[in-house]
Amino acid sequence: MIQYSEFLDIFDKQLELYQSEYENYIFCKKGCSACCEKGDYPLSQIELEYLMLGYSKLDNSIKKVLQNNFSMIKKGGVCPFLINKECSVYKYRPIVCRVHGLAYLNSQGKVVVPYCVNEGKNYFQVYKDNEFFINPIRQNLSTQFVLKDFNFGEIRDLYDWLVV
């Protein structure tokens, strides 16, 4: 697990470089939690274990709020780890959350754009009718690819991990 957290430190630094390279097109800011309010949040076994490590370190009062959220989780709905528009396990969040908001090339050579592009947010100036008018990040930021050097286990939606 230490190896995985060290990898995340390096990965986060790479993402910071991308954020500054594309800063003119990125409108993510504290207080915007749109990416955490609607989605499937797919994550692998290794990411789930790391996420739950973050959960185990929280105060009991926060755990209680989260347990209540877990009991009300809906497929495709708000992430149960979101409290007052902030991620309660930010340091431990999965890859899909770390790359929220970025546009990148996938293994089929297609540009993956953040859904908020259609809400006048990230990259809206350079995207129209499924066409992307600048070079996207050339690194495949899908979870499978990012974690290719790890034995990351099965990938499931957060709902499917939490609802047994």
The encoded tokens of residue 114 equal 């953040």
- When the beta carbons of 58 and 82 are compared against ligand SF4, the nearer one is 82
Helical spans, DSSP H, in the chain: 2-21, 45-56, 60-71, 95-98, 143-146, 158-162
The answer to whether 93 contacts ligand SF4 (rule: CB under 6 A) is yes
- Residue 101 CB, shortest distance to ligand SF4, in Å, is 11
C-alpha 132/C-alpha 153 separation (Å) is 33
> Does residue 162 interact with ligand SF4 by CB under 6 A?
no
What 64-68 contacts at long range (C-beta under 8 Å, 24+ apart), as own/partner pairs, is none
Given 18, 22, 81, 123, the residue binding ligand SF4 (CB under 6 A): 81
- Only one of the segments 86-94, 105-113, 129-137, 141-149 lies at the binding site for ligand SF4 (rule: CB under 6 A); that segment is 86-94
41 vs 161, beta carbon nearer ligand SF4 = 41
Q: In angstroms, rounded to a whole number, what is the distance separating the alpha carbons of residues 72 and 66? A: 10
Binding residues (CB under 6 A) for ligand SF4: these are: 36, 41, 79, 81-82, 87, 89, 93, 97
